[in-house]
Amino acid sequence: MKSTIALSATFLALAACFSTDNLSAQEFDQPFGIESLGDIDNIAPIRQQILKEEEWLRWRKENIVPEVMRRVGVDMWLISRNERPLYYSLVPANYEGLVNTRSAALVFYDRGGDEGVEEIIVGRGDLAEIVSSRDPQKIGMGENASGRFTESLGSELASRFVVTDDLRTGFLEKRSPDEISTFHHAARVAYDIIGEAFSNAVIVPDVTTTDDVNWWIRQRYRELGLETSDHPTITIQRSNLERPKYAEDDEHFRIDVRPRNGYNKIIRRGDVIACDTGIIYYGWGTDTQQNAYVLLEDETDVPHGLKVAFDNTNRLQNHIAAAFEVGKGANDIVNDSLLAARADGLRPFIYGHPLPYYLRRYSSNGGFIRVRYGAGPGLGGNELLEDSPLWPPGGYPVYANTTYAMEIHTMTAVPEWGGQDVRVTMEQNVVMTDDGLKFLGGRQTEWYVIR
């Protein structure tokens, strides 16, 4: 079944304006945290979230299971109980996520045409009879399950096996139209929190430390009733012209390593600061990196060279957005983006990945069934290499209604910093749609400014 994206009128109107003929940063502008839409004031309680997550799971079972089975070309799909999170996403539950059934396996049988897909809960010893009686011609299963099912079904039926993880990935990566629409709201909540953190309400230059901001974000999540899976990470870049003023180790200011914790530094005037953080909301894990600048005492605006550096990363986002197409291999998307960005005079780095999801169900004894997973293709890699390499052509294709963390950076020599390279990293939540790539909740197109 072909899916469409249910976007608000605002996003549809903006989408109509997009063009890849002139890839300026403004071409892909969408509202986001700096231009807050007040999403932080409308956070759903946990029960409301779970009710929607279960509704979406039921929709996905009804619509995406037959879609991926027909895409792969199997008429039966066997799922072992050991295949977390796939099994626990598809095992029957009530409307609040209560799982009462603990089966040995799940079977989906495509009866063809309008008859749809039959769902069968398998007890111990029943599998061979269920499969034989339906006489499937091609039996799909994951790579880690084939040994167990061969033992249960015997060699004749095993000769019909189609062993592939494309079924698992195809189901887990694809979201319902309502989910995508809601994720715009979830992303804006995350951006609103970053907007609060990157302000003078939280940061006092020459007083506040990176760990102060990390823990403020953690505490803010708790106050808002939000979960997170990882401790926030605040990092600093500082001009070599400013560093002699302070007796501080240079280790934390390196840009040739991944963002990391463990160096609690005072945030100074003239610093570039970045965050890497996310929330768990409606079963989705936002994954965001955004940036702020702390004005020097005699400054009233961000230096022009830093604005150029920021715009360079926005331009890289534009090239990636232009390269995304439904059905196109992930490696081809990365390669086309890198080549276009280099032709545009940029120094690009791309190392994106599927966004994380959180299955939040529970059993009759009250035990939580919590599974974190990401499904889909990686987008690049080798974040620390000076020249991001091109990848072998092809790669796993990108499908509509799949989500990614567009994790990237560019390097730019900044005149006001004595020609020093500045790394502007952005990790943007995006969704691939039939109409192209969309920035979930918008994206950052200007520095947060701390005065």
Q: Could you tell me the residue range of the domain that residue 359 belongs to?
A: 9-30+177-450
User: Is the preceding omega at residue 397 within 30 degrees of 0, hence cis?
Assistant: no
Per-residue tokens: 69: 């089975």
Q: Are residue 294 and residue 274 in the same domain, yes or no?
A: yes
Backbone φ and ψ of 285, nearest 5°? -105, 110
Query: How far is Cα 77 from Cα 69, in angstroms, rounded to an integer?
Result: 7
**Low-confidence residues of the chain, pLDDT below 50?**
1-26, 28-34
Whole-number pLDDT of residue 36: 59
Which residues does 22 contact at the CB level (< 8 Å), separation at least 6?
none
AA letter at 408:
I
What's the Cα-to-Cα distance from 16 to each of 9, 322, 409, rounded to whole Å? 11, 14, 27
Q: Are residue 307 and residue 220 in the same domain, yes or no?
A: yes
Beta bridge partners of 290: 275
Instruction: Look up the CATH number of the domain holding residue 23.
Output: 3.90.230.10
In a domain, 45, yes or no: no
pLDDT tens across 313-371, in order? 999 999 999 999 999 999 999 999 999 999 999 999 999 999 999 999 999 989 999 99
Pairing of strands 98-99, 357-363: parallel
Whole-number pLDDT of residue 32: 43
Q: Are residue 150 and residue 182 in the same domain, yes or no?
A: no
Whole-number pLDDT of residue 236: 95
Q: Are residue 142 and residue 215 in the same domain, yes or no?
A: no
Whole-number pLDDT of residue 6: 31
Q: Are residue 126 and residue 241 in the same domain, yes or no?
A: no
Of 172, 201, 223, the one marking the end of a domain is: 172
Whole-number pLDDT of residue 39: 92
SS3 call for 420: strand
Q: Indicate the number of domains in the chain.
A: 2
Of 172, 206, 241, the one marking the end of a domain is: 172
Could you tell me how many residues make up the chain? Answer: 451
AA letter at 328:
K
SS3 call for 439: strand
The alpha carbons of the chain give a radius of gyration, in whole angstroms, of 24
Whole-number pLDDT of residue 18: 34
